[in-house]
Amino acid sequence: MTLKDSFSLAYRTVRSNRLRTGITVAIIAFGIMALIGIITAIDAMNGSLRESFSTMGANGFTISYKERFRFGNDNQTEKVEKGKKQKKSNLDKPIQLTEAELFKSAFNFPAVVSVALSGPGSTELRYKSKKTNPNVRVSGGDENYLPVNGFAVEYGRNLNRLDVQTGRNVCLLGSDVAKKLFGETGKEKGVDKIVSVAGVPYRVIGILKSKGSSALMRADNVVITSYNNVRRMGNSSPSFTIGVMANDVGLLDGAVAEATSIFRGIRRLTPGEDENFVAEKSDKLAETFIGLLGSIQGAAGAIGLITLIGAAIGLMNIMLVAVNERTREVGLIKALGGKRRNIRQQFLFESTIISLLGAFFGILFGVLLGNVASLIFGTGFVVPWAWVIAGVLICSVVGLLAGLWPAIKASKLSPIIALRYE
């Protein structure tokens, strides 16, 4: 009895027991689908996060009075360094306009500096009978705000110094906002039109190119005006932020060090005091979220592993039942000259075939299910090849281990006793 004969016999046996095979395959497929589906969704979220938060590119960073996103206990009012307490007056101290402008004039480094102030994040814009959803984000900046934050003007012009100094009611519209108000083909006609921003008239001086908004951060759903204009809005941010874009990515670390040194002086910090501001590289927040997603990825692996252990126990039980059901068949094979290894091969092939069928359907449905997240977050089709290969290997091992004991038990049956088994 050749290896091919053993495989052929095992395959025919699997096909003949469709209900039992289908239930076992479904159990294995569910575990693999849960694992691959969650991993695929996390990969899609990772791509979306990097695209969303790395708006300034690899050579940019921001200075703010506290981290934009913090974990753990952030209610501490005192910091201790080398046995010295930080002054309470220096903690959570918003950046004032005078400090931001002083930094901009004092930062003599090959880089572009922008001063910005966040406005309301849920604003409605109107133009004649058309209006946007009340979810448009208002941002205030200066003449350098667009290049530092990765925006570009498609029609019209950028803010100039006079716009910033006077704080007059002029604005630039994001691509999504312009489409909503002026139509897909009429965006260029929006330049020099008067739109209503939260009930206040603004003249449109420019339309921005699309940045390819994602589900996590709709970068094109924005209206940009000067920071002096945003200051007049009642619900603007209490603190200014400073954006810096180094001329070359190799200068980024030097720019961060230089900016930190200069801003410590502006904030009047002594050498023994901690910094009461944060210099964050543009991709730091994305890395923070991606680190959290890594924890979720580990939990998904644990869930899939537990499910596969349950599937392995079920598969082993089914194979043991199959041994009892086919005792006379085993005795006949041995009576015709079949050896122990032929019996072992047949049962191992059966369990492996069932396990790999579960892997195939689990991977297929897992990738399809996980890529629903790709559609939601606007990323491309994702296939986690490393986990796909790992899933196939895991299921192969599960099949071999689950079928090992039943195969050994079947191979040890006496042909005479087996033929007389009822």
pLDDT tens-digit series, residues 125-184 = 999 999 999 999 999 999 999 999 889 999 999 999 999 999 999 999 999 999 999 987
* Entry field: residues in the chain: 422
Paired with 197 in beta bridges are 125, 200
Do residues 40 and 66 both lie within one domain?
A: no
Do residues 29 and 74 both lie within one domain?
A: no
In the chain, how long is the greatest CA-to-CA distance?
103
Do residues 91 and 229 both lie within one domain?
A: yes
Give the pair of three-digit tokens for residue 409. Answer: 């038990």
Number of domains in the chain: 2
Do residues 359 and 394 both lie within one domain?
A: yes
Q: Which of 237, 267, 282 is the last residue of a domain?
A: 282
Distance from C-alpha of 48 to C-alpha of 376, rounded to nearest angstrom: 10
Cα atoms in the Cβ-side hemisphere of radius 13 Å centred on 308: 27
Residue 101: CB atoms within 10 A of its CB come to 16
Do residues 314 and 194 both lie within one domain?
A: no
Say what the pLDDT of residue 20 is.
79
pTM over 0.85: no
> 3-class SS at 249?
helix
Do residues 266 and 307 both lie within one domain?
A: no
* CA quadruple 255, 110, 277, 60: dihedral, nearest 10: -80
β-strand pairing of 200-208 with 278-281 = unpaired
In the DSSP assignment, the letter for residue 87 is: P
Do residues 109 and 196 both lie within one domain?
A: yes
Give the pair of three-digit tokens for residue 142. Answer: 């200066």
Question: Domain containing 397: what range?
Answer: 3-52+288-419
Q: Which of 259, 282, 305 is the last residue of a domain?
A: 282
Residue 343: CB atoms within 10 A of its CB come to 24
Do residues 199 and 325 both lie within one domain?
A: no
Query: Which positions of the chain have pLDDT values less than 70?
Result: 1, 47-58, 67-91, 212-218, 282-293, 297, 300, 304, 334, 336, 377-380, 415-422
Do residues 112 and 235 both lie within one domain?
A: yes
How many helices (H) and strands (E) the chain has is answered by 13, 14
Distance from C-alpha of 90 to C-alpha of 75, rounded to nearest angstrom: 14
Give residue-wise pLDDT tens across range 381-410. 778 888 788 878 878 887 888 778 777 877
Element (H, E) at 18: helix 18-53
Do residues 21 and 143 both lie within one domain?
A: no
Q: Which of 260, 282, 304 is the last residue of a domain?
A: 282
Q: Are 187 and 93 in contact (CB under 8 A)?
A: no
Do residues 88 and 138 both lie within one domain?
A: yes
Distance from C-alpha of 179 to C-alpha of 185, rounded to nearest angstrom: 8
